[in-house]
Amino acid sequence: MAPLDPPHTWTAQRFDGLYAASTDPWAMDGSWYEERKRALLLASMPARRYTHAFEPGCGHGLLSAQLALRCDRLQAWDCSARALETARLRLESNNCQAWFRQACVPDQWPQEVFDLVVLSELLYYLTYEDLDQLMTRLLQGLAPQATVVACHWTHAIEGCAQTGSQVHERLHAGLSLPRVTHVRDADFVLDLWTRGEAESLALREGRA
């Protein structure tokens, strides 16, 4: 196997270029792999509904459309203006409270407090230093009872310094939160952490 090129600098311009070539540069629409992965992520979220969610790196909004149905408010950010244009159009008919903003994490970060943060197919584009800064900002913006869910492709990616597996190892060490769900698929890793008590849903419903 040929060695990968050195890591790129993943700028907004680079992502806009990908979305200029295709509105679906990673061929997510119509993919059963992607549909199943989204379903697993959504099913892992322990609360039926969340008050205020943040999804940085929302891309063209396939996951955002489903997250918005579980949240009173959703902030969906992406550094690519082209991606956000598609995401906005996708959610227009959802009748949900979703706000979109062109912004690049971790240099930019919302001031609000969130009870759900979703990090999907994003973090391997960051440098080690940026990932550490993101974790610091994330922890500062979590509600007392909050969920953090991350899901990433585990194979090597051209132009990225880290794989999804490496990202999740660093996340688990840096967040220092209880990890209540861990799914290791052949192609991706899904982890969920909670701030506050990791309550048993079965106990909550009187089943255990």
Average pLDDT over the chain, rounded to whole? 90
Whether the pLDDT of residue 124 is over 90: the answer is yes
Mean pLDDT over 96-114 rounds to: 94
The token duo for 187 is: 């192609």
Q: Which CATH superfamily is domain 32-204 in?
A: Vaccinia Virus protein VP39 (3.40.50.150)
- Model pLDDT for residues 55-94, shown as the tens digit of each residue: 999 999 999 999 999 999 999 999 999 989 999 998 887 7
Q: Tell me which residue of 86, 83, 65, 84 sits closest to 74, measured CA to CA.
A: 65
How does residue 2 score in pLDDT terms, banded at 50, 70 and 90?
Answer: very low
The pLDDT, as a whole number, for residue 10 is 67
Q: Tell me which residue of 164, 120, 172, 109 sits closest to 142, measured CA to CA.
A: 109
Whether the pLDDT of residue 117 is over 90: the answer is yes
Range among 39-48, 94-103, 152-161 with highest mean pLDDT value: 39-48
- pLDDT above 90 covers a percentage of the chain that reads 70
The pLDDT, as a whole number, for residue 5 is 41
CB 53 within 8 A of CB 75: yes
Can you give the pTM of this predicted structure? 0.91
Domain assignments of the chain as residue spans, ordered by start: 32-204
